[in-house]
Amino acid sequence: MQALHVRSLPSRPTQQLASPAGPCSGGVAPCRSTAQLIAACSAGSASATGGSGASQQRSRRGVTAQTGLSSSGPSSSGSSGSSGSSSSSSSSSSSSIPSSGSGAGATQRGAAAAAVPGAAVAAGAPYAPAAAGGRDLDAPAPGFHSIPEALAAMAAGEAVVVLDDEDRENEGDLICAADRVTPQLMAFIVRYTSGVVCVGMEGADLDRLRVPLMVSSAENEEAMYTAFTVTVDYRHGTSTGISASDRAATMRALADPAAQPQDFKRPGHIFPLRAREGGVLRRPGHTEASVDLCRLSGCHPSGVLCEIVSEDGSMARTPELLAFAQQHGLKCITIADLVRYRLCHDKLVEATAAAQQQTRWGPFTLHAYRSLLDGSEHLAAVAGEPSAAAGAVLARVHSESMLGDVFGTQRCDSGSQLDAAMEAMAAEGAGVVVYLRGQQGRGLGLGEELSAYAAADACSASCDNPAALEDSTFPVDARDYGVAAHILRDLGVTSVRLLTSNPDKAACLAAHGIEVEQVAPPPPGASPAHANGASKGAALV
């Protein structure tokens, strides 16, 4: 998923949301926007959940590392693969294609690999992310409840404790569905929180009720850009509006689709918050979490939320929040887990067009897709009927490269790798190449890639593509592949034999529920710069 450009105001400093070092982003530099955060979250995890004490506690709070692990969390000692070239160039194209009949390497669906970027993947090797220290993206962070458990609790009218990232607000909120809140539950919320009770709402509901923003977006000086609206009270059957019963009545009325603007007094004692469209995938805050949780639990998408405080009035932190949830029998989750749950279960792409094309490799059906998060377009080249295949489908996730795919530069073997993959799938009669656009120069962009080449040329004439990027000020690999998993799933492909020597791709597909039965390096390309098979780039295609 490409970055979503988030508007920032130069008049005041923006707060860094998180610092990811995720696997499918190749160890990206600290996030500078919510968009980069979500791009990092869309990949699988490269960190295990090991460790104990404070370090483990920090690791299970991070929103940005792909399984909810922060970059400071402990790494797995059991990485899959080893460094070096992915395969010998003497191998023929056919010998490196895994056969469809091999099932010995079937993986646990939904697990993420703890693989080292650039590690070699042996031809025909089974893919075993669980053994490498990964964890299922549907599993909660250690010490927390699962998202389905929280959804069931909210559907039953209960409150849940929701924690955000330590690098963000670093707080926990009590959240419940506005259409099911009772005076008793509201009294409980007021007793154990700051008392500034808010309700996250969708923009459509606020517009219908004519509840405007308290200040314009340009004037918003709140630290996390929380979109406060004017305060309201329900007009009918309430007194001052401050009691628990009055506030509960206002909440239920705000969540009532039949409510009208004239049903509310302004100002009041309830603070509606305008949630960002796209929910936690666009802004990983408590406002969006409250709306997402209500929607996913079958309630009206309006969620009551308020920050939990300690007895001394300070904000409660992780150990106290976990103890609080246990003491009161509440489910406790993280926004990180909610992000990952949505990435696994939501439909994030839509098919926009399809047409059969006669290519130089044979007939392929080309499917166009649009990301529902950022509007970016991608392509899937399908040979035969892979959805009807009895076994795992031959597949490749290919990042767009104008220099390699179009101009055939000798410093990038992307074009020859694409040729070899398409030829192999045409020969087998079935297969899928997911062509991800917007990933030029390993996600850095065309201009940055050329600048990196120029910088490398100034240092040494022998630098190849990865070395050029390493010598620049940019990360070696800034790509993520989560959208590819959603495209494969839309095509009916749930199990693949993946043509790649980049462990990040296998980890990311597995993290999003695609069973990676085997991985094999793509057939060796014809680019002279990679003819000896020793290029660092050969391990990351």
Whether 283 is a known active-site residue: answer: no
* Residue whose tokens read 């699962």: 146
Catalytic residue among 233, 292, 464, 477: 477
Nearest-angstrom CA–CA distance, 18 and 415: 35
Q: In Å, how far from its chain's centre is CA 455?
A: 32
- The per-residue DSSP string of 207-256 comes to HHTT--BSS-GGG---TT---BB--EEE-SS-SSS-SHHHHHHHHHHHT-
Catalytic residue among 479, 480, 497, 504: 479
Whether 165 is a known active-site residue: answer: no
Q: In Å, how far from its chain's centre is CA 420?
A: 30
SS in 3 state form for 148-190? HHHHHHHHCCCCEEEECCCCCCCCEEEEEEHHHCCHHHHHHHH
Does residue 205 sit in helix, strand or coil?
helix
Which residues does 473 contact at the CB level (< 8 Å), separation at least 6?
none
Question: Which bin fits 513, alpha (ψ -120 to 50), beta or left (φ > 0)?
Answer: left
- In terms of DSSP bridges, do strands 160-163 and 172-177 run parallel, antiparallel, or are they unpaired? antiparallel
Does residue 28 sit in helix, strand or coil?
coil
Measure the CA dihedral 415/421/423/424, to 10°: 160
Nearest-angstrom CA–CA distance, 60 and 70: 7
| Residues noted as catalytic | 477, 479
